[in-house]
A and B are shown apart, each in its own frame.
Chain A
């Protein structure tokens, strides 16, 4: 029994922190959102140099061949600095899916490039009202010779402008789950992209339109009409990764709030001496540590494909999302008026938290999933040993 990061993971944590500090820390999302998009290019070169793009790619393609647990410390650090860019989509979604479901040609074509940082991925998932369900996937893929011709529109595609390749669930049949995943290269397709203005400018949201976009059939990931199932697999990776990222955010919030409460004086003393303030920060700390435990556990369950992996991720996702929003809000309260300024960093976390609230499902959806798993699976009711 050992429930903590190991030596190697701690090394990843420290080196990520050092690297991000050298690149400007919280200045990174600020500069990015103010239009200096080159910070993202610079960041990516550095991440690739560190070998971080290939963590989940197998060694034969130049990666490290590691799993979700190794990503945990890196993602926490990225969350601490509200880092922009499609890192999660690339390493926690695209890489594992191509490794698992990709054809030999696809692996050859993508994995080495992905690991070296030369190909960035994102996922073009949502449509219409943003709900994630099979019936809401209506970008139509019509077969024509050796190609699919795509028509329709995806929304909230994060960093589509920066990505080289999109993974796109499309409709390939009339049955509800006749969905397939396509790998769509941005450079060889005529995609139309339009920025969607979001409060959280550290995640750039883009509307991607497909107007008779031809994609070779070779770009099909997995079998036709099995896309929804594969997607669930991918979403587990996405959720687990976002959980650790949010934990990083929570960690930074507690740090910032503590620092402020120690230095800001009113009534002749640091405000952190008042229990109303002090205990509020303790609440944030309690939420942080519970969140961290659940995120570790989710990553562990995913890496080891345990029986309770679905529940583990759903528990983490439902609790962490809400804690993040709560703590980000409380952090503003602790900062008083200064927390309401653009100048202070508090709002970066609130906006990130709120933008993730319903992404890939609401906290309610995930709580429901927890209970379905629990009641459906009586075995898991036995006390954990």
Chain B
């Protein structure tokens, strides 16, 4: 048992750390983190950052070197996430492309698809979104009804997607559609690479409770894809979708490192804010709550390292990732909720009137999505119960 990194791993860390110092926007590390609020400005900001990462060799580090990556090990990916969390680096706008679509195409895509797409994913020239959820298939994803029908050399797609992050900025969509109705819902699904800039694709914004526009509805009215846009085999898209998800190796790590960072900020805030003239951190009840959150955050981080060790030993990740996801999302909600509790009666003031910084209010609201997106907590609990504990499967229809 040890928590040490090898000399090479530490070198990797130092290199990245230095690169971030040199390349993050002026004042970013010190806390001046301003992102444009309008669509266009935001899009440019994120695309520029993605490009910078690419130019520095820090985009898609786990990709093979011949495709522009570094062939990074799992541990290096973890270090990458630690360092990104440490400086609260801007999110990667093309995370879906870089973390999932690209590696999937490298693994099971055609030569033509690799040539056409992967480089533009890595350098951020083409932004990707993911067309999975539909109004009537959320947790029950395989029940999706968007259809693709073959006409000549074209596939005509009709239906609706929802919760499509970044669709309004995206150039292409990794989309699941039903190509056959066999009566078994996991069969007859096909994965398509769909051009977002075409007449048959309409994107409408969803305004979320944090007054943000990240999510969209995507309407497909006779949208077109071609034979060459199919990933894997026709009607075998469910398996492709699982391949896609298996490439998302360190998303939960990112969340966990960020949470430990946020916990530190919470302590900082409790040391600054006062009640009856005394810092909150001196209040015994506050201390109890903070002590509890500390043990949970540390426990979550350590659980992750334990699961990581297992993944490395086994050569593949186990279902324990569901435990990390469940733990991180619920603890995130708890930490942000408590952060607002500490702010007293001004705790709902936000935007330019925020008592501390509006990040607390934004993330408090944002955190309600943690336990829904990427598989609800209820679904995670089913996975843990069935796949880890061996409890009976849910009644399925």
Contacts and interface: CB of A to CB of B under 8 A. Distances in A.
Interface of A: 1-6, 69, 254, 258, 261-262, 269-270, 272-273, 275, 278-279, 281-282, 285-286, 289-294, 296-297, 300, 315-316, 318-319, 364, 366-368, 370-371, 374-375, 381-385
B291 interface: yes
B281 interface: yes
12 contacts: A1-B2, A1-B3, A2-B1, A258-B390, A286-B384, A289-B306, A290-B296, A290-B300, A293-B306, A296-B306, A297-B298, A368-B291
Contact of B75 (A1, A374, A384): A1
Contacts of B295: 294, 315-316, 318-319, 367, 370
B390 A262 contact: yes
A366 B394 CA distance: 40
Contacts of A2: 1-2, 309
Nearest to B305: A3
Interface in B270-317: 271, 281, 284, 287-288, 290-292, 294-296, 298-303, 305-306, 308-310, 313
A229 to B, nearest CB: 24
A219 B137 CA distance: 74
B384 A285 contact: yes
Given A1-B309, A383-B85, A383-B257, A282 B389 contact: yes
B259 to A, nearest CB: 10
A383 B260 contact: yes
A374 B294 contact: yes
Most chain A CB within 10 A, of B4, B85, B284, B294, is at B294
A291 B302 CA distance: 10
Interface of B: 1-5, 13, 75, 82, 85-86, 257, 260-261, 264, 267-268, 271, 281, 284, 287-288, 290-292, 294-296, 298-303, 305-306, 308-310, 313, 323, 326-327, 378, 381-382, 384-385, 388-395
Given A370-B295, A383-B260, 17 more contacts: A69-B1, A273-B392, A275-B381, A275-B394, A281-B389, A285-B388, A286-B326, A289-B306, A290-B296, A293-B306, A300-B3, A316-B295, A367-B288, A368-B291, A381-B264, A384-B3, A385-B82
A285 B383 CA distance: 12
Contact of A383 (B264, B271, B284, B327): B264
A2 B302 CA distance: 11
Task: State the majority secondary structure of interface residues on B.
Answer: helix
Contact of A364 (B288, B381, B395): B288
A286 B298 contact: no
B392 A319 contact: no
Contact of B385 (A278, A292, A300, A367): A278
Contacts of A296: 1, 302, 306
B3 A272 contact: no
Contacts of A367: 287-288, 291-292, 295
A264 to B, nearest CB: 11
Contacts of A272: 385, 391-392
Contacts of A269: 392
B392 A258 contact: no
Contacts of A261: 391-392
Nearest to B385: A278
A282 B385 contact: yes
A273 to B, nearest CB: 4
Given A3-B306, A383-B86, A384-B260, A281 B391 contact: yes
- Listed from nearest, the 8 A-B pairs whose CB atoms lie closest are A367-B291, A293-B302, A290-B299, A273-B392, A315-B295, A272-B391, A3-B305, A319-B295
Nearest to B384: A282
Nearest to A72: B1
A169 B2 CA distance: 35
Nearest to A315: B295
Nearest to B264: A381
B298 A315 contact: yes
A255 B125 CA distance: 51
A258 B382 CA distance: 13
A383 B298 contact: no
A374 B287 CA distance: 10
A115 to B, nearest CB: 24
Nearest to A9: B1
